[in-house]
Structure 1
Amino acid sequence: MKTEIETIVGETPGISYELIVHRLEGTDVSAPRVYIQSGLHADERPGVAALHFLIPMLEQAEAEGRLRGSLILVPHANPIGAAQHLYGEHMGRFATGTRTNFNRDFPVPGDDGMRHLDKASAPVFAERRLKSRLLELADGCPIVLDLHCDDESVQYVYAPEVLWPEMSDLAACLDAEAALLWDSGADRAFEEAVFEQMQARAPDGDLSGHCVTTVELRGQNDVDVTLARKDAEGLYRFLQGRGVVAADTTPAPALKAGFVGKPIRHVDMVTAPAGGTLLFHVAPGDRVEAGQLLAEIITNPGCKGGSVEVRAPQAGYVLTRRIRRFIRMGDNLLKIISDTAAVASRKGALED
């Protein structure tokens, strides 16, 4: 494995950031090339932990001649966000200088079919140059995995609908419990920008063998040795199944029993009708019925009528819930994958 340290110049004198890029060389030029990054939302750590265990496995495969496809790995994809702390709290989702989500507004092909990336020396904010560089690193790789996590969540994948069910092998190898499928976007997240470039370059629109996805590795606090090893082993199984790493004849795993895979228009975003202290009555992975009590919000502790109930808009599967327990009116509380479409159509991200 070769490691490169790239410098991203900051916006003011004396400030710069280091982007660490690992490269592993495969033995077969016809095998798929792979790009994997984690920590784009810099306060999301499960993917970083998973790569900590995956990288030595891949190094060993490379040393033993079992690595067929080449890989590019970026474990800390957002050194800018990693450096943002306010009064001891990590602020890794939004750029504090511009208030922009680090996983939004990536360059995509325009009406002319061309994608315009910012060069390392471009006189623009560092986050824009970082986003352009991440896309450059992923270019030409038919397999692109962006490792994220949710607040509190089951493990799920977020993927282009046109690549499903071919991409279900990734969900199965990771032992994921759900998939959200999108057919159009408007927020220009990393995954969307990569996929649009893939489509633009695909001969005759053929995307066979391609895989681009945001992998949600459970919740923000699901960072421990056992889960990280399991995720690394799942990613390794997936790479074996795709021919990136030489594999034995072990059959590919099947999707988990009860797996839920739906288009994102089936997602009900349950919001807070009032502000206060949040008490959940359901957890990620639960099945709920229409009208079932999901949570209550304490607005006036100990007093009659001092809490507000939140009930399920329809039957479905609890995918995620909010990690914080003091909330504002209008905050998102839960994502529920409803049995029937919650909205007629939905474009872009589910949350800011």
Structure 2
Amino acid sequence: MEHSEITIAGDTPGIEWRLPVLRFRGDTDSAPKVYMQAALHANELPGTAVLHFLCDRLRKAEAEGALAGDVTIVPQANPIGAAQAHFGEMQGRFDLAYRTNFNRDFPLVTLAERGDLLADLDRETAVKRLKRTLLHMALGAELVLDLHCDDESVQYAYIDEAFWPEAADLAAALSMQAVFLSDGESTAFEEAVGHAFKRQDDSQCAKVPGRLAVTVELRGRRDVYPDTAKADADGLFRFLVARGVVRSAEAPVPAFTELAFTGPAVPLDNIDMVRALEPGTVLFHKDIGDIVEAGELLATIITRPGFADGIYEMRAERTGLVATRTSDRFVRRGDDLMKIVCKDRIRIDRAPGTLED
């Protein structure tokens, strides 16, 4: 394993950030190259724990001569966000200096323009240098995994339709309960990688066999446990074996049928974003992973505590899988409560891009 650090100068005198990068060298030029990062939203830490345990397995594979493809790991991709706290709580999702999401505004370039990402880098702000550096590293690989998590959530992923259903092996290896098929129209990291993969030169491809750019949502923010992290690391290792990155006797290459993903894989227009219609204290009646029927009670919001008429009931408008739930127990009007995965298209007014800011 090779360890290096990328130094990112701060925007004020005397400040700099260090980005650790771990590289495992394969011995087969034709094998896929892999890039994985975690904690781009600095307060989303399940992926950091998963990559910690995956590195144990990669070190062993490298030492045994079982590593075919190069693997680059950035276990904490956002040292800038990790240092930003407000009243004792790490913010992580939004840059306090420029009020932008750390997982938005990545440059949209073709694969042939990869080298341009590092041109005149010293003229950019620290956050833009970080984003350009991460994207440049990722575009040197064929398989790119960006590890995130939701608030309270089942295991799921955002995958551009250009990589589906080939990416069903990853969904199965990680025992995902759902896949959200994205349209590739945002400036999030994974979609910026996908943008380049689909536009390797001036032409655009609808499908990109052998390549992958995916955002993996590793359950919820509080789901940072040794057992789940090790299990997910094992799942990623199985995926690497299946894709020919690792040769492993203990985890032989599984047949695609054995890695078949059986959960729902639906476009973003099939995701019902359940939002609070009244402010107040939330009492949930349904948990993540539940299948709900239209008309079932999802949550009671106590709008006027102590008053007989002081509640508002939120009911499911459609049948589906509760994929996510807010961890907040006090909500404002319009706050997100749940994402429900539905069989049919239910949204006709969604702008292309992501579901949330």
* Residues 80/207 of structure 1: CA separation in 2 closer, same or farther (3 Å cut): same
Cα shift readout 1:181-220 (whole Å, capped 9, x = no counterpart): 01241x3000110011111117983611111100000000
Q: CA deviation at 1:307?
A: 1.2
Question: Is 1:143 matched up with 2:143?
Answer: yes
Partner residue, 1:234: 235
Cα distance in 1 for partners of 2:200, 2:348 equals 30
Counterpart mapping for 1:96-115 below 5 A: 96-109=96-109
Q: Which moved more, 1:274-283 or 1:30-39?
A: 274-283
Aligned match for 1:324, one of 312, 323, 328: 328
> Which amino acid in structure 1 is aligned with residue 150 of structure 2?
D
Q: CA deviation at 1:300?
A: 1.1
- TM-score relative to the length of structure 1: 0.95
Partner residue, 2:45: 45
The 8 Å contact of residues 104 and 187 in structure 2, kept in 1 or not, is answered as yes
Question: Is 1:287 matched up with 2:291?
Answer: yes
Cα distance in 2 for partners of 1:286, 1:300 equals 28
Cα distance in 2 for partners of 1:246, 1:114 equals 33
Q: CA deviation at 1:52?
A: 0.8
What's the secondary structure of 2:123's corresponding residue? coil
Partner residue, 1:251: 254
Number of residue equivalences? 349
Cα shift readout 1:96-118 (whole Å, capped 9, x = no counterpart): 001100000100028xx857535
Partner residue, 1:21: 21
Partner residue, 1:86: 86
> Which amino acid in structure 2 is aligned with residue 210 of structure 1?
R
What's the secondary structure of 1:227's corresponding residue? helix
Cα distance in 2 for partners of 1:219, 1:120 equals 38
> Which amino acid in structure 2 is aligned with residue 275 of structure 1?
P
What's the secondary structure of 2:122's corresponding residue? coil
Instruction: Give % identity.
Output: 49
Partner residue, 1:212: 213
The 8 Å contact of residues 38 and 77 in structure 2, kept in 1 or not, is answered as yes
Partner residue, 1:191: 190
Q: CA deviation at 1:143?
A: 0.1
Cα distance in 2 for partners of 1:98, 1:250 equals 46
The 8 Å contact of residues 8 and 120 in structure 1, kept in 2 or not, is answered as no
> Which amino acid in structure 2 is aligned with residue 242 of structure 1?
R
Aligned match for 1:311, one of 309, 312, 315: 315
Cα distance in 2 for partners of 1:28, 1:294 equals 52
What's the secondary structure of 1:201's corresponding residue? coil
Q: CA deviation at 1:250?
A: 5.2
Q: CA RMSD in A?
A: 1.9
Partner residue, 1:11: 11
Gaps of 5+ in 1: none
Cα distance in 2 for partners of 1:73, 1:166 equals 23
Question: Is 1:350 matched up with 2:355?
Answer: yes
> Which amino acid in structure 2 is aligned with residue 251 of structure 1?
P
Q: Which moved more, 1:171-180 or 1:240-249?
A: 240-249
Partner residue, 2:133: 133
Cα shift readout 1:68-109 (whole Å, capped 9, x = no counterpart): 000111001000001111111110000000110000010002
Instruction: Give the ranges of 4+ consecutive aligned residues of structure 1 lying more than 6 Å apart after TM superposition.
Output: none
Cα shift readout 1:223-258 (whole Å, capped 9, x = no counterpart): 00000000100000000000000034453443465x
Partner residue, 1:173: 173
Cα distance in 2 for partners of 1:167, 1:220 equals 24
Q: CA deviation at 1:46?
A: 0.3
* Residues 312/204 of structure 1: CA separation in 2 closer, same or farther (3 Å cut): closer
Cα distance in 2 for partners of 1:238, 1:120 equals 37
Q: CA deviation at 1:162?
A: 2.1
Cα distance in 1 for partners of 2:105, 2:155 equals 25
The 8 Å contact of residues 37 and 75 in structure 2, kept in 1 or not, is answered as yes
Q: CA deviation at 1:327?
A: 1.1
What's the secondary structure of 1:350's corresponding residue? coil
> Which amino acid in structure 2 is aligned with residue 287 of structure 1?
I
Q: CA deviation at 1:27?
A: 0.4
Cα distance in 1 for partners of 2:197, 2:215 equals 15
